[in-house]
């Protein structure tokens, strides 16, 4: 809070003021900016009423953003100040007054001409002296820059957060909490330590089939004393039936986040797996509406029909063995009860639920293609058999990884030089940009005699372009540096762990693994066919040879470094050729 001397206060009392209030839509992201009524209250309490100031007109500007030049109220106020209708301006903060270089310049110009004798804000007062004018210009420049950054950031922020950082936006779902990471200051969604475990327990109880959904809900509330999270307005209540069913039909529990722009696997800890989630949907009978998300099936993108070359599609079917009459029936989308005895699926105790996924030709090329379908279990057995051929021994993996690292060091050294040069150049461009800005906002430039706004833009643009290019070069150098190293490591790891990931990976991983097997993958007469090995898999081709080499070298403590390096160098060249 600035110090107001008696002398100053008595001077202020003889002046006429305009009050200028502004809040723009983009400020909504910024909690630090007070609302218009909040700004008004602060100004009244801290300035107008406190010192008994004479306000001749308040200006409100809410809808428009001051980022682009052209705020009718602001312009009107400046014109009237220019005519001498008032002596000063009161605003909540300097950044409320200007958000672009032009506006800021106009206002400071009026101060320099003594047409504005004082600017009062809740954070301080500014008069016609170099220090105050410089401060205001800095404040306006910063507001401009923040505004540039912010409008970009807000636009991208939410999308980026959702799709790239895979973070849920908005209030956390049941079982999770919103929090701010103390290190990164990023908002995150974490498990609710009180409720997450209860819900996990409830899901597994439901999946056991021993209890109906309503019986599980009863346990949640009455045995495990579940209470909803207390917020300002509500909470502290048992889980309602509707909230329970909403929870059970939300794929969020297995990690999938759905928004109208699309869906993505979130980074939050899942409560269950996709297949179990789907089982729950079956158990819910009609209440388990087929969830809005498309089911993604592994493999189909990389498979073709061996007869007509059309793409392959997958189809999921569910069968239930009724717990009462033991009839096995197919569950269509609308079926909610046993087809024989009529018992509701939701009420069944321990029904047997069977999932089948069939792969078959889409017949888009030849309507009369004669190929039948193959069930996922059979297909996966065959893929596993193929992968087995490429699996490498753990000791060999260790050996290979160590030497890849040694080779990588050499690569790094070569690249460090070019990176250093690029970084030096970047530094120089940044200094030039800083200098320009310092000149522009300097007190000697308040009338833009040293550097006009047009000139500033003209000189900044090529520098900003240079900066962008240099950053790109540096990023590329960094990326290239890791590329072959990563590729090599991936290749070995892949060969080593493909079978593991094939068993435990998600839809994408499984598909990638199958895709990596080779080119022209097709199914003919229920058999998976692979034409030729993918070059990415070249390591596997030489598996035998390389393992022999490894064996020869392994027993010896003293290793012939050059020989090995040479060999790996050849392999590396192979991979690089094959992968590009």
Q: Which residues of the chain form contacts with Zn ion (CB under 5 A)? A: 305, 307-308, 310, 322, 324-325, 327, 338, 340-341, 361, 369, 371
For Zn ion, give the closer residue by CB, 277 or 359. 359
Q: How far is the CB of 523 from Zn ion (least distance, A)?
A: 9
Strand-strand pairing, 124-126 and 118-121 = antiparallel
For Zn ion, give the closer residue by CB, 53 or 322. 322
Neighbours of 377 (CB within 10 A): 9
258-292 burial, b for 16+ CB within 10 Å, e for fewer?
eeeeebbbbebebbbebebbbbbbbbbbeebeeee
For Zn ion, give the closer residue by CB, 111 or 305. 305
Q: How far is the CB of 524 from Zn ion (least distance, A)?
A: 9
For Zn ion, give the closer residue by CB, 328 or 410. 328
Cβ-contact 319, 326 below 8 angstroms = no
CA–CA gap between residue 93 and residue 458 (Å, rounded): 30
Cβ-contact 404, 492 below 8 angstroms = yes
For Zn ion, give the closer residue by CB, 98 or 361. 361
Cβ-contact 305, 523 below 8 angstroms = yes
Q: How far is the CB of 320 from Zn ion (least distance, A)?
A: 9
32 burial (CB, 10 Å; 0-12 / 13-18 / 19+) is exposed
Q: How far is the CB of 314 from Zn ion (least distance, A)?
A: 14
For Zn ion, give the closer residue by CB, 249 or 371. 371
For Zn ion, give the closer residue by CB, 340 or 354. 340
For Zn ion, give the closer residue by CB, 267 or 352. 352
Q: How far is the CB of 380 from Zn ion (least distance, A)?
A: 21
In order, the DSSP letters of 33-44 are SPPHHHHHHHHI
Cβ-contact 50, 124 below 8 angstroms = no
Q: Which residue has the tokens 């799709």?
A: 163
Q: How far is the CB of 303 from Zn ion (least distance, A)?
A: 11
Identify the three-state secondary structure at position 526. Answer: coil
Q: How far is the CB of 377 from Zn ion (least distance, A)?
A: 21
Q: Which two tokens stand for residue 17?
A: 């003021």
Half-sphere exposure of 523 (CA within 13 A, CB side): 32
425 CA to centre of own chain: 31
Identify the three-state secondary structure at position 375. Answer: strand
Q: How far is the CB of 146 from Zn ion (least distance, A)?
A: 59
Nearest to 293 by CA among 264, 323, 270, 320: 264
103 burial (CB, 10 Å; 0-12 / 13-18 / 19+) is buried
For Zn ion, give the closer residue by CB, 121 or 212. 212
Q: How far is the CB of 363 from Zn ion (least distance, A)?
A: 6
For Zn ion, give the closer residue by CB, 301 or 411. 301
Q: Which two tokens stand for residue 544?
A: 């035998």
In order, the DSSP letters of 124-189 are EEE-SSHHHHHHHHHHHHHHHHHHHHHHHHHHHHHHIIIIIS----SSPPTTEEEEE-TTT--EEE
465-471 own/partner pairs: CB under 8 Å, 24+ apart:
466/429, 467/426, 467/429, 467/430, 467/433, 470/422, 470/425, 470/426, 470/429, 471/426
For Zn ion, give the closer residue by CB, 256 or 322. 322
For Zn ion, give the closer residue by CB, 355 or 370. 370
Cβ-contact 110, 142 below 8 angstroms = no
Q: How far is the CB of 219 from Zn ion (least distance, A)?
A: 26
Q: How far is the CB of 214 from Zn ion (least distance, A)?
A: 19
For Zn ion, give the closer residue by CB, 327 or 385. 327
Q: How far is the CB of 328 from Zn ion (least distance, A)?
A: 10
Longest Cα–Cα distance of the chain, Å, equals: 99
Q: How far is the CB of 334 from Zn ion (least distance, A)?
A: 17
């Amino acid at each position: 809070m600035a110090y107001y001397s008696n002398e100053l206060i008595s001077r202020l009392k003889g002046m006429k003021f305009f009050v200028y209030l502004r809040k723009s839509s983009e400020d909504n992201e910024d909690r630090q900016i007070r609302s218009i009524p909040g700004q008004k209250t602060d100004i009244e309490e801290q300035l107008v009423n406190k010192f008994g100031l004479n306000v001749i007109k308040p200006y409100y500007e809410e809808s428009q953003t001051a980022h682009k030049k052209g705020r009718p109220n602001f312009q009107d106020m400046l014109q009237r100040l220019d005519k001498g209708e008032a002596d000063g301006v009161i605003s909540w903060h300097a950044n409320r007054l200007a958000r672009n270089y032009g506006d800021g310049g106009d206002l400071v110009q009026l101060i320099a001409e003594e047409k504005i004798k004082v600017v009062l804000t809740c954070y301080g007062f500014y008069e016609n002296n170099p220090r105050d004018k410089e401060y205001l210009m800095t404040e306006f420049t910063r507001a401009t820059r923040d505004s540039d950054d912010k409008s970009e950031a807000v636009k991208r922020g939410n999308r980026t957060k959702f799709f790239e950082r895979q973070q849920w936006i908005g209030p956390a779902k049941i079982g999770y909490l919103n929090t701010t990471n103390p290190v990164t200051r990023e908002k995150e969604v974490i498990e609710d330590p009180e409720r997450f475990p209860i819900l996990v327990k409830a899901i597994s109880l439901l999946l056991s089939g021993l209890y109906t959904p309503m019986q599980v809900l009863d346990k949640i509330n009455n045995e495990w004393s579940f209470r909803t999270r207390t917020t300002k307005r509500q909470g502290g209540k048992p889980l309602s039936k509707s909230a329970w069913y909403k929870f059970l039909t939300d794929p969020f529990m297995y990690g999938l986040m759905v928004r109208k722009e699309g869906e993505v696997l979130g980074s939050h800890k899942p409560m269950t797996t996709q297949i179990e989630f789907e089982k729950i949907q079956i158990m819910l009978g009609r209440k388990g509406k087929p969830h809005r998300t498309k089911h993604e099936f592994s493999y189909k993108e990389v498979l073709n029909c061996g007869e007509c070359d059309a793409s392959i599609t997958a189809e999921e079917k569910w069968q239930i063995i009724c717990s009462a009459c033991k009839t096995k029936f197919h569950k269509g989308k609308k079926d909610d009860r046993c087809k024989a005895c009529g018992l509701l699926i939701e009420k069944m105790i321990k029904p047997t639920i069977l999932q089948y996924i069939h792969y078959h030709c889409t017949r888009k090329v030849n309507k009369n293609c004669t190929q039948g379908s193959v069930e996922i279990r059979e297909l996966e057995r065959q893929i596993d058999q193929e992968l087995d051929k490429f699996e490498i021994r753990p000791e060999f993996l260790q050996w290979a990884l160590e030497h890849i690292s040694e080779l990588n060091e050499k690569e790094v050294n070569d690249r460090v030089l070019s990176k250093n040069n690029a970084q030096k150049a970047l530094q120089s461009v940044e200094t030039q940009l800083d200098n320009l800005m310092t000149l522009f906002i300097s007190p000697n430039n308040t009338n833009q005699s040293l550097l006009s706004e047009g000139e500033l833009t003209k000189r900044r643009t090529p520098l900003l372009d240079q900066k962008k290019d240099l950053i790109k070069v540096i990023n590329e150098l960094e990326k290239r540096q890791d590329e072959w190293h990563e590729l090599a490591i991936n290749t070995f790891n892949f060969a080593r762990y493909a079978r593991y990931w094939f068993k435990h990976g998600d839809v994408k991983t499984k598909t990638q693994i199958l895709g990596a097997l080779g080119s022209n993958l097709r199914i003919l007469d229920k058999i998976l066919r692979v034409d030729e090995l993918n070059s990415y898999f070249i390591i596997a081709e030489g598996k035998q040879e390389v393992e022999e080499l490894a064996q020869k070298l392994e027993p010896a403590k003293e290793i012939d470094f050059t020989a090995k390096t040479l060999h790996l160098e050849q392999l590396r060249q192979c991979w690089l050729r094959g992968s590009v």
